[in-house]
Amino acid sequence: MATNRIIKDNKVKQKDQLFDRSGPEMDFKFDEATATVFDDMVSRSVPFYDEIQRMACEIAADFATEDSNLFDLGCSTGTTLVELDKYINPGTRFVGIDNSAEMLKKARLKLQDTGITRPYDLIQADLHHDKVVDNASVVIMILMLQFMRPLYRERVVKNIYEGMRPNSCIILVEKLTASDGLINRLFIKYYYEMKRRNGYSELEIAQKREALENVLIPYQWEENRDLLKWAGFRHIEIFFRWYNFCGIIALK
């Protein structure tokens, strides 16, 4: 019997059904409707999402230092910050940045419910224009840079680099496009097959694909690598890869 809610780890998550109806073309926005179902959306739409979170946390733990800041850029509902709290030195301050007030509202509630006692801030900002990173030993961007307008990405990454401490790291997770057309089409096909396995219908897949067009603009792996090199990062390595999804660590 169909239900509009799913239960995981004794918590109720609203099921993602944003694109389960036909009609006028919908835009993808990080509004209240998206924030309400976001946790279910990413868990069903991002391959190995829980493992990516775990990997990001254990990497961050080896770079986060006391009396520094850990930034989660595009923190959405605060899931990564909650997970990080289990790994990171309590003397590291967490700073979650998002341009969606609705996402930050969910994040505040989640962090309050979890009972995090370390110092933290949740700030609404637009990285296209706002320079926010400062005294950072770790910067995390999970599925966020791909939503930045390409015209601004150099500025955004350079601003991040300038706000980081020596021997710090940035952890990126990005959806990619492949340089070879056939491989790119195959990777997209495999990705949509994963979404079907996770319960999304053909209508939902098609509607969301149209909604994300010109909103989510993926780069090739080489373009992301070159962007990080241009900004000044001294070593760049892939730590996760699944078809058209990639985890990248870069060191300052």
Q: Which of 24, 18, 47, 50 is nearest to 193 (CA)?
A: 47
Tell me the two tokens of residue 58.
């254990």
Neighbours of 65 (CB within 10 A): 18
pLDDT of residue 28: 74
Q: Which of 45, 19, 13, 7 is nearest to 193 (CA)?
A: 45
Query: Which domain covers residue 59, as residue numbers?
Result: 49-176+216-251
pLDDT of residue 232: 97
Spans of the chain below 50 pLDDT: 1-10
- Residue 189 inside a domain? The answer is no
pLDDT of residue 33: 82
Supply the CATH number for residue 242's domain: 3.40.50.150
Tell me the two tokens of residue 151.
């015209």
Tell me the two tokens of residue 181.
């057309």
Number of structural domains in the chain: 1
- Residue 199 inside a domain? The answer is no
> pLDDT (tens digit, 9 = 90+) per residue, 182-200?
999 999 999 999 999 999 9
- Residue 140 inside a domain? The answer is yes
Q: Collapse the DSSP code of 181 into the 3-class scheme (helix H, G, I; strand E, B; otherwise coil) and give the result.
A: helix
Query: Are 224 and 248 spatial neighbours (Cβ–Cβ below 8 Å)?
Result: yes
Task: Kindly tell me the burial class for residue 97, based on how many C-beta atoms sit within 10 Å of its own C-beta (0-12, 13-18, 19 or more).
Answer: buried
Which residues lie across from 140 on neighbouring strands? Answer: 72, 171
- Residue 72 inside a domain? The answer is yes
Phi-psi category of residue 24: left, alpha or beta, with phi > 0 → left and psi -120 to 50 → alpha: beta
- Residue 150 inside a domain? The answer is yes
Tell me the two tokens of residue 213.
């067009």
Q: Which amino acid is at 233?
A: F
Tell me the two tokens of residue 59.
């990497």
Chain position carrying tokens 């373009």? 223
- Residue 23 inside a domain? The answer is no
Q: Collapse the DSSP code of 247 into the 3-class scheme (helix H, G, I; strand E, B; otherwise coil) and give the result.
A: strand
Distance between CA atoms of residues 36 and 54, nearest Å = 23
Q: Collapse the DSSP code of 220 into the 3-class scheme (helix H, G, I; strand E, B; otherwise coil) and give the result.
A: coil
- Residue 183 inside a domain? The answer is no
> pLDDT (tens digit, 9 = 90+) per residue, 53-63?
999 999 999 99
- Residue 135 inside a domain? The answer is yes
Neighbours of 36 (CB within 10 A): 18
Q: Collapse the DSSP code of 112 into the 3-class scheme (helix H, G, I; strand E, B; otherwise coil) and give the result.
A: helix
